[in-house]
């Protein structure tokens, strides 16, 4: 490969006696001699001048030709032998072309002579370039320890590529100075990724990039990377993910702060509300804390900022967006649970290590933190209204009522008595239904010596018929509740010993020594015999569990009807 510099021009002057290959052409009949000059060597891209001569006559007409028809020869004045051409690109190997000068005299005599022009390839060096992906928190090319740095060499180029689509054929990176960095990519890729070392004193790391073009020419460049000492590193702060929450619910704030410096702690923490909507944070100086979502009339964004400062006064901040939405009207009751629990104990406040618990969310939690509108009253998010024997609403202070309307679900429920009458709390019944469309293929048990009640047959169908005949609270469409309907009045947060609000459902059986199962209308396929359901679902209001019982098992009943 020839030197990299280009000749701007090369003038070839034919000698008076010399000729291509050792002498001019002599036409013996006319005595004309033509001399094209001496053989020469030029570089691709050079502007080459051709100048020959003829003698032995006068009034010549000259012409130049080339063995390579692609070469364009400029010869504007044919009365002279002077001409020129641009040496074509020959890329990786030299090329020799024959140039012939012909001369014709006025009397028709002619002669010619040739020279050899060898054209050598010239390769411009590629240009190596390194672009550093910057960290905007620090000066140019400056990074803290344990940070991923990207050096991009893909903008390196070659101005005379053989393959213009890939002017650089290979890349080679090398760290030439400083504490060894941890590589996260190969040394032969166009971009180098590495992790900066954690060091006690500021240091400069030097990286070089050598690029090779299509003609094996190479160029090397380098870049210096400044790595800060560990104690100058900024803390890493995570304010958590953006979240949408319902007004009145608990919002767990799980901020995290850490540093590569062992001397950075303890951190000074501060949560700040950057929005105009007030949100009360329980402990704004703790990374892990909680807040109560404020009451809002429409979807509202609140931006909270977590500030952290280490022992070297290095400070960073990050924000989290909390979208608070109004509580929606629901047709389902909440569970009544307000407590949160860990693996070993319970709490009356949120537990950050055990997030997403029932006690942090839902209508019960909302009603404990903000005032919610109720048609009646009740514990937590429950909303009950007392009805008299005619089904009319009566005041919450009344001590004598016959039914309860659930204002959330719209259901009206039977209230048990303690008077040995039809609705006495201690009466129990076998499960029995002659409706073949819903009884699972088995009517159940019509009577049992173990069941006790005030009617002839102590079964659920007979009890429903008796209550409808009575017209309890002025209604005649009482029935057994479905599984979900009966579970809707279960209050798992009550401390009364029975999972129901006894202020509205008095005389509920409460006995920790026995199960207090209440029938639902749903047959159960588990334990089916001869492809018929011989059991049905029931809910135990002492433990809150649900299970299936044999239809012959005497259990309690609380009837329901659709509300109005």
| Predicted local distance difference test score (pLDDT) of residue 12 | 33
Classify residue 125: in a domain, yes or no: no
Classify residue 3: in a domain, yes or no: no
| Predicted local distance difference test score (pLDDT) of residue 17 | 30
3-state class (DSSP) for residue 119: strand
| Predicted local distance difference test score (pLDDT) of residue 405 | 96
| 369, 380: one domain | no
| 449, 390: one domain | yes
Please check whether residue 279 is in contact with residue 294, taking contact to mean a CB–CB distance below 8 angstroms: yes
CA angle 83, 84, 89 (to 5 degrees): 155
Classify residue 126: in a domain, yes or no: no
| 335, 392: one domain | no
The residues, ordered by sequence, that sit 6+ positions from 310 with a Cβ below 8 Å of its Cβ are 235, 259, 261, 264, 265, 267, 268
CA angle 148, 150, 151 (to 5 degrees): 145
| Predicted local distance difference test score (pLDDT) of residue 339 | 84
| 425, 547: one domain | yes
Bridge-based pairing state of the strands 25-27 and 9-13? unpaired
Alpha carbon of 289 to those of 109, 240, 286, 319, 356: distances in Å? 110, 12, 6, 15, 14
| Predicted local distance difference test score (pLDDT) of residue 181 | 97
* Long-range CB contacts (within 8 A, 24+) of 73-78: 73/99
**Which of 180, 196, 231 corresponds to the end of one domain?**
231
| Predicted local distance difference test score (pLDDT) of residue 1 | 38
| Predicted local distance difference test score (pLDDT) of residue 13 | 33
Classify residue 495: in a domain, yes or no: yes
Q: Note down the domain range covering 395.
A: 374-564
| Predicted local distance difference test score (pLDDT) of residue 563 | 63
Classify residue 2: in a domain, yes or no: no
How far apart CA 484 and CA 542 sit, in angstroms, is: 17
| 51, 142: one domain | no
| 386, 518: one domain | yes
| Predicted local distance difference test score (pLDDT) of residue 356 | 82
Q: Which residues are paired to 305 by β-bridges? A: 272, 319
| 421, 523: one domain | yes
| 292, 328: one domain | yes
Q: 563: exposed, middle or buried (C-beta count within 10 Å: 0-12, 13-18, 19+)?
A: middle
Classify residue 340: in a domain, yes or no: yes
- DSSP characters for 124-151? PPPB---EE---TTSSTTEE-TT-EEEE
**Which of 93, 120, 147 corresponds to the end of one domain?**
120
| 91, 152: one domain | no
What pTM did the predictor assign? 0.66
Q: 424: exposed, middle or buried (C-beta count within 10 Å: 0-12, 13-18, 19+)?
A: middle
| 110, 15: one domain | yes
Question: Token pair 């073009």 is at which residue?
Answer: 213
How far apart CA 564 and CA 26 sit, in angstroms, is: 129
| Predicted local distance difference test score (pLDDT) of residue 526 | 83
**Which of 63, 98, 120 corresponds to the end of one domain?**
120
| 356, 498: one domain | no
| Predicted local distance difference test score (pLDDT) of residue 317 | 97
Alpha carbon of 239 to those of 86, 147, 166: distances in Å? 68, 20, 45
Q: Which pLDDT tens digits describe the chain residue by residue (564 residues)?
A: 333 333 333 333 333 233 344 445 555 455 789 999 999 999 999 999 999 999 887 789 999 999 999 999 999 999 999 999 999 988 778 999 999 999 998 888 899 999 999 999 888 899 999 999 999 999 999 999 999 999 999 999 998 888 888 999 999 999 999 999 999 999 999 999 999 999 999 999 999 999 999 888 999 999 999 999 999 999 999 999 999 999 999 999 999 999 999 999 999 999 999 999 999 899 999 999 999 999 999 999 999 999 999 999 999 999 999 999 998 877 888 888 888 888 888 777 787 888 888 888 888 888 888 888 899 999 999 999 999 999 999 999 999 999 999 999 999 999 999 999 999 999 999 999 999 999 999 999 999 999 999 999 999 999 999 999 999 999 999 999 999 999 999 999 887 678 999 999 999 875 655 578 999 999 998 877 888 999 999 999 988 899 999 999 999 999 999 865
Classify residue 1: in a domain, yes or no: no
| Number of domains composing the chain | 4
| Predicted local distance difference test score (pLDDT) of residue 361 | 86
| Predicted local distance difference test score (pLDDT) of residue 244 | 95
Classify residue 277: in a domain, yes or no: yes
The domain that holds 206 is classified in CATH as 2.60.40.10
| Predicted local distance difference test score (pLDDT) of residue 9 | 34
| Predicted local distance difference test score (pLDDT) of residue 441 | 94
| 207, 138: one domain | yes
């Amino acid at each position: 490969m020839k030197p990299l510099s280009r000749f701007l021009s090369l003038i070839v002057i034919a000698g008076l006696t010399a000729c291509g290959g050792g002498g001019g052409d002599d036409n013996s009949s006319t005595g004309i001699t033509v001399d094209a000059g001496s053989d020469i060597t030029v570089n691709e891209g050079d502007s080459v001048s051709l100048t020959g001569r003829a003698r032995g006559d006068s009034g010549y007409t000259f012409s130049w030709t080339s063995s390579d028809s692609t070469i364009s020869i400029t010869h504007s004045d044919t009365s002279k032998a002077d001409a020129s051409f641009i040496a074509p690109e020959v890329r990786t190997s030299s090329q020799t072309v024959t140039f012939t000068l012909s001369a014709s005299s006025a009397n028709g005599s002619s002669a010619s002579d040739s020279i050899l022009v060898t054209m050598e390839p010239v390769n411009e060096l590629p240009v190596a370039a390194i672009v550093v992906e910057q960290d905007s928190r620090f000066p140019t090319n400056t990074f803290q320890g344990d940070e991923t740095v990207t050096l991009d060499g893909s903008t390196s180029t070659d101005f005379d590529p053989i393959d213009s689509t890939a002017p650089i054929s290979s890349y080679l990176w090398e760290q030439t100075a400083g504490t060894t960095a941890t590589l996260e990519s190969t040394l032969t890729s166009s971009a180098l990724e590495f992790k900066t070392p954690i060091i006690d004193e500021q240091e400069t790391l030097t990286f070089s990039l050598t690029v090779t073009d299509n003609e094996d020419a190479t160029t090397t460049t380098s870049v210096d990377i400044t790595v800060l000492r560990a104690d100058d590193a900024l803390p890493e702060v995570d304010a958590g993910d953006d979240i949408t929450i319902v007004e009145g619910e608990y919002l767990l704030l799980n901020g995290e702060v850490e540093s590569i410096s062992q001397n950075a702690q303890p951190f000074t923490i501060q949560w700040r509300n950057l929005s105009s909507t007030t949100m009360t944070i329980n402990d704004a100086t703790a990374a892990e804390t909680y807040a109560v979502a404020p009451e809002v009339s429409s979807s509202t964004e609140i931006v909270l900022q977590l500030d952290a400062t280490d022992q070297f006064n290095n400070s960073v901040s990050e924000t989290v967006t909390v979208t608070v939405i109004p509580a929606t009207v629901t047709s389902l009751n909440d569970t009544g649970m307000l407590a949160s629990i860990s693996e070993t104990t319970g709490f009356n406040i949120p537990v950050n290590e055990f997030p997403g618990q029932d006690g942090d969310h839902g209508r019960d939690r909302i009603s404990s933190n903000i005032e919610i509108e109720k048609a009646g009253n009740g514990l937590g998010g429950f909303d009950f209204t007392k009805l008299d024997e005619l089904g009319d609403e009566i005041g919450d202070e009344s001590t004598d009522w016959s039914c309860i309307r659930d204002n959330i679900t719209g259901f009206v429920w039977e209230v048990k008595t303690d008077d040995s009458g039809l609705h006495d709390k201690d009466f129990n019944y076998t499960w029995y239904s002659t409706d073949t469309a819903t009884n699972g293929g088995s009517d159940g048990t019509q009577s049992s010596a173990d069941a006790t009640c005030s009617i002839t047959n102590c079964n659920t169908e007979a009890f429903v018929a008796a209550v409808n005949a009575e017209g309890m609270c002025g209604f005649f469409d009482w029935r057994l509740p479905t599984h979900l309907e009966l579970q809707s009045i279960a209050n798992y947060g009550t401390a009364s010993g029975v999972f129901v609000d006894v202020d509205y459902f008095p005389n509920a059986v409460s006995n920790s020594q026995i199960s207090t199962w209440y029938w639902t209308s749903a047959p159960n396929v588990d334990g089916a015999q001869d492809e018929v359901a011989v059991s049905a679902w029931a809910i135990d209001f002492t433990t809150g569990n649900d299970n299936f019982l044999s239809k012959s098992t005497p259990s309690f009943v609380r009837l329901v009807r659709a509300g109005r």
